[in-house]
């Protein structure tokens, strides 16, 4: 799969409105050229004091992804009951329901996507994590423009910040993982998702 063969929406606004969290992927792999294009887009993000604190790790070994998913699920299952969580269909679950989901051996927190892009940062400034989230948004919008799907996997943050995972993935010890993003070719087109209108507390003129 190359970026040159993928459709591009007409405008930046079109990309913003089309982007969705994708939780179903084909088995099509992403090539290095496509991934590098996504990373190049990510580092165009705004960055406080031009620090550019981000560090990226790309994981495409499905065995490693499955192992990380299993470790993350074990950690989740050990936590107190969760609230306001969602499964792959977007339906809300109680904490006990979510525990049953992560106890399912067939459930993969990376939704069987073939590529995980980990965005982390060194503690260079109080704004470093915010910079990483801006880079993550750039990456997700660029992926949408290329016809790809993405989803931020918050439940992977804890396991990716363990010394064991850092050693396995080559994440420097002084780097804190902020945003794990899965990327792949979507399996189908997701339904539109409504958004609340902006809450404007006050408009000072």
Residue 82 is predicted with a pLDDT of 53
**Dist. CA 180–CA 25, nearest whole Å:** 16
Range with lowest mean pLDDT among 35-39, 80-84, 137-141, 175-179: 80-84
Residue 49 pLDDT grade (very low, low, confident, very high; cuts 50, 70, 90): very high
Beta strands in 50-175 (DSSP E): 54-59, 85-86, 92-93, 115-121, 149-152
Predicted confidence (pLDDT) per residue in 13-40, tens digit: 999 999 999 999 999 999 999 999 999 9
Q: Give the model's pLDDT for residue 76.
A: 82
Q: What are the structural domains, with CATH classification, of the chain?
A: 3-62+108-184 (3.40.109.10)
Q: Across all residues in the chain, what is the average pLDDT?
A: 89
pLDDT per position as a tens digit, 103-129: 888 999 999 999 999 999 999 999 999
Q: Could you tell me which of 74, 165, 71, 186 has the C-alpha nearest to residue 118? A: 165
Tell me which of 97 and 145 has the higher pLDDT.
145
- CB of 9 closer than 8 Å to CB of 40: no
Percent of the chain's residues with pLDDT above 70: 86
Question: What integer pLDDT is reported at residue 92 of this predicted model?
Answer: 53
Considering only CA atoms, which of 148, 143, 156, 140 is closest in space to residue 59? 156
In 3D space, the residue among 81, 90, 77, 121 whose CA is nearest the CA of residue 22 turns out to be 90
């Amino acid at each position: 799969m190359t970026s040159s063969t993928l459709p591009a929406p007409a405008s930046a606004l079109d990309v913003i409105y089309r982007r969705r969290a994708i939780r179903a992927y084909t088995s099509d792999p992403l090539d290095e050229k496509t991934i590098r294009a996504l990373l190049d887009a990510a580092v165009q993000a705004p960055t406080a004091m031009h620090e550019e604190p981000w560090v990226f790790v790309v994981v495409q070994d499905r065995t490693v992804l499955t192992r990380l998913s299993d470790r993350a699920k074990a950690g989740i299952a050990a936590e107190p009951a969760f609230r306001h969580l969602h499964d792959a269909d977007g339906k809300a679950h109680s904490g006990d329901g979510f525990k049953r989901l992560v106890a399912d051996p067939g459930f993969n927190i990376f939704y069987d996507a073939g590529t995980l892009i980990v965005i982390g940062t060194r503690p260079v400034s109080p704004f470093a994590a915010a910079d990483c989230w801006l880079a993550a948004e750039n990456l997700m919008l660029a992926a949408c423009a290329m016809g790809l799907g993405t989803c931020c996997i918050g439940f992977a943050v804890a396991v990716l910040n363990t010394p064991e995972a850092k050693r396995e993935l080559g994440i420097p010890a002084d780097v804190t993982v902020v945003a794990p993003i899965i990327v792949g070719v979507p399996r189908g087109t997701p339904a539109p998702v409504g958004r609340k209108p902006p809450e404007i507390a006050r408009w000072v003129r």
